[in-house]
Amino acid sequence: MSSISKQQKQQDITPEARDHFYEILYGRRDVRGQFLPDDVPDDVLTNILHAAHHAPSVGLSQPWNFILIRDAERRRKIYDAFVKANDEAAEMFDEGRRSHYQSLKLQGILDTPLNVCITCDRKRGGPVVLGKTHQAEMDLYSTVCAVQNFWLAARAENVGVGWVSIIQKEKLIELLDLPDGVVPVAYLCVGYVSEFLKKPELELAQWEKRTQLEDMIYTDTWGQK
């Protein structure tokens, strides 16, 4: 690596910083059952939102918004929409898995005082956005990058996050008054937790297994090892 420049060397992340980063990345969890009622202080929440806002975005279009939902009545309506969807979901599993599915806790909407909806404005940046000309979904993908930044930054701040996807998007659009062209990408429960589980909850509950990394890697084309 002789050509690595002096300029990069000055910007190098140290092995210690890298290891701290991995501690956070591997300690992140999709939290459902461990939320506490404590408020997240404004300065901590601002740190997390600032990190989300510095995600990569196609053409620097920054298509996201952050709706902070604290109102108990609105969260109750969103919880009701989850319950309806979750009942529908249970029916989709065959009998063998249904009772296992029904035994899982899959959200913490009312358990924590803060929910955050991260939205994508499909019109942001106008009709022609650099990098979106041939892949129209890039604005949605940019918004997901902001979600993942939010999730990791929350873990760095010792705050838990759970992504609730078992809900009709149309219901979220209605309950959050989203205008035409704005879609909900992630509905997040956010708060302090009693603990971060050592492994994903679905792995501990033996719902699914972690696959081996080497099975996911191909060389040059699909299927080639």
Interface with its own copies in residues 128-167 (CB under 8 A): 128, 130-135, 137-138, 140-141, 144-145, 147-149, 151-153, 155-158, 163, 165-167
**Residue 213 interacts with its own copies (CB under 8 A)?**
yes
104 vs 110 by CB, closer to its own copies:
104
**Residue 110 interacts with its own copies (CB under 8 A)?**
no
Subset of 19-58 contacting its own copies (CB under 8 A): 20-28, 30, 36-39, 46-47, 49-51, 53-56, 58
58 vs 109 by CB, closer to its own copies:
58
Closest approach of its own copies to the CB of residue 97, in Å: 8
Exposure string of 11-42, with b = 16+ CB inside 10 Å and e = fewer, is: eeeeeeeeeeeeeeeeebbbbbebbeeeebee
User: How far is residue 91 from each of residues 85, 101, 136, 185, 210, measured CA to CA in Å?
Assistant: 10, 10, 34, 25, 25
d(CA 147, CA 188): 9
**Residue 102 interacts with its own copies (CB under 8 A)?**
no
Subset of 61-80 contacting its own copies (CB under 8 A): 61-62, 64-71, 74
Count of residues of this chain found to bind its own copies when the rule CB under 8 A is applied:
118
Task: Give just the sign of the alpha carbon dihedral 105, 109, 115, 116.
Answer: positive
Closest approach of its own copies to the CB of residue 19, in Å: 8
d(CA 57, CA 142): 5
DSSP string covering 126-137? -S--TTTSS-TT
**Residue 206 interacts with its own copies (CB under 8 A)?**
no
**Residue 83 interacts with its own copies (CB under 8 A)?**
no
Residue 31 sits at the vertex; the CA angle it makes with 189 and 51, to the nearest 5 degrees, is 60
Closest approach of its own copies to the CB of residue 179, in Å: 6
Closest approach of its own copies to the CB of residue 161, in Å: 9
Closest approach of its own copies to the CB of residue 128, in Å: 5
Subset of 183-202 contacting its own copies (CB under 8 A): 185-186, 192-196, 200, 202
Closest approach of its own copies to the CB of residue 75, in Å: 9
Under 8 Å between Cβ of 139 and 122? yes
Task: Count CB atoms within 10 A of the CB of residue 147.
Answer: 19
**Residue 12 interacts with its own copies (CB under 8 A)?**
yes
**Residue 105 interacts with its own copies (CB under 8 A)?**
no
Query: Which uninterrupted H or E stretch holds 64?
Result: strand 64-69
Residue 121 pairs in a beta bridge with 182
Q: Which residues contact 93 (CB under 8 A, 6 or more apart)?
A: 101
